[in-house]
Amino acid sequence: MKILLAEYAMGIGLEGTLLLEGKAMLSTLADSFHRLGHEVTYLSAGSILKSGNMVGSDEATFETVLEKVSKESDAGLVIGPDELLGDLTNIIEKNTVNLGCSSVSARMCADKLTCTQILESASIDVPKILGEKDNSECVTKPRFGCASEGVRMGQTDRPEEGNEEYIATEYIEGEHLSVSMICGQRTLPMSLNKQLIEMIRDDSGTIFDYKGNQVPYITEYEDEVFNVAKRTVETLDCNGFVGIDVIYGDRPYVIDVNPRPTTAILGLAKILDHEIAELLLLNMFGTLPDSVTLEGECYFTKDDIEDII
């Protein structure tokens, strides 16, 4: 099959950590499809991967190139910022088989306010959304944002009434976890991961800084977290590789839903008994296995990502 892979940071030529993480995820996927014998095409503003054929793009042409190449592909997957992912996915949907979440689902997941409200209405535990007059300690984060970027904890740093760019939620004390899952045809949990989060305190509060992942994380409440993750992706009608961020306090609370591959894929690809590309294709064209097996453990930090590529 002809497979199109596109990652926004690579495709427009961003620099720094976003480029490294995007390139690492795309490289992992390209290698997986290549090992299965598929013809891989990817968009890039200059970065070269070991597997696949590069098609040049930049910030001005990314969407145009995505449209053109998707028409020539049998299936495609795009990874992008929350606020752009719905529109970028829509381009894939119009022209070929989309291996990821639908544009509708991607937009629901990307909007943290809407996503939280939908999950709460489905009786899935989420942190309570707080208003300007609430005095309790809260977590303030961009309504649209990736990972822990822009997330702070404190009592004074909260959005004013009418500010739609940020939301404030109650602070849940507990373990920072994530679930890597293939979903759509059915829900297939692949791993429960421990997120390495550093809490950096300053005069205005506490910043949450994502440092890396431990894949998998073995705990007695794995099944409980998996069950909540399954209900979450079913409620949001997710498809493909999805990452669900969870805080486990007295019970699991869903913090964020990433309707796309996440950096946990870097560790997962090293220990999973199936090719991730195979599972993505089976989800759309075949039958997913009942379960998968993890052989070993992978621990990595953001500083290790350049060596993984």
Q: Tell the residue number behind the tokens 């891989």, with chain if given.
A: 40
Task: For residues 190 and 257, give the distance between their C-alpha atoms in angstroms, rounded to a whole number.
Answer: 16
Secondary structure in 3-state letters for the chain: CEEEEEEHHHHHCCCHHHHHHHHHHHHHHHHHHHHCCCEEEEEECCCCCCCCEEEECCCCCHHHHHHHHHHCCCEEEEECCHHHHHHHHHHHHHHCEECCCCHHHHHHHHCHHHHHHHHHHCCCCCCCECCCCCCCCEEEEECCCCCCCCCEEECCCCCCCCCCCEEEEECCCCEEEEEEEEECCCCEEEEEEEEEEEEEEECCEEEEEEEEEEECCCCCCHHHHHHHHHHHHHHCCCCEEEEEEEEECCCEEEEEEECCCCCHHHHHHHHECCCHHHHHHHHHHCCCCCCCCECCCEEEEHHHHHHHC
Q: Convert the pLDDT of each residue in 190-203 to its tens digit.
A: 999 999 888 887 76
Q: Convert the pLDDT of each residue in 252-273 to its tens digit.
A: 999 999 999 999 999 999 999 9
On the question of pLDDT at 30 being above 80, the answer is yes
Contact 154, 138 (CB under 8 A): yes
- Position 149 scores a pLDDT of 59
- Position 135 scores a pLDDT of 64
- Position 309 scores a pLDDT of 66
- Position 60 scores a pLDDT of 98
In this structure, whether the domain defined by 2-99 belongs to CATH 3.40.50.11770 is answered with yes
Q: For the chain, give the percent of residues with pLDDT over 70.
A: 91
In 10 A of CB 150, how many CB atoms? Answer: 15
pLDDT average, residue stretch 40-64: 97
Average pLDDT, the chain: 91
CA-to-CA separations, 292 to 39, 244, 273, 275, 289, in angstroms, rounded: 25, 18, 7, 10, 7
On the question of pLDDT at 218 being above 90, the answer is yes
- Position 140 scores a pLDDT of 85
Domain range annotation of the chain: 2-99, 110-126+174-308
On the question of pLDDT at 308 being above 80, the answer is no
Residue 266: burial class (beta carbons within 10 Å; 0-12, 13-18, 19+): buried
Q: Convert the pLDDT of each residue in 83-105 to its tens digit.
A: 999 999 999 999 999 999 999 99
pLDDT band at 307 (very low <50, low <70, confident <90, very high): confident
- Position 42 scores a pLDDT of 98
In 10 A of CB 86, how many CB atoms? Answer: 21
pLDDT band at 301 (very low <50, low <70, confident <90, very high): confident
pTM for the whole structure = 0.92
- Position 47 scores a pLDDT of 93
What CATH code is assigned to 110-126+174-308? 3.30.470.20
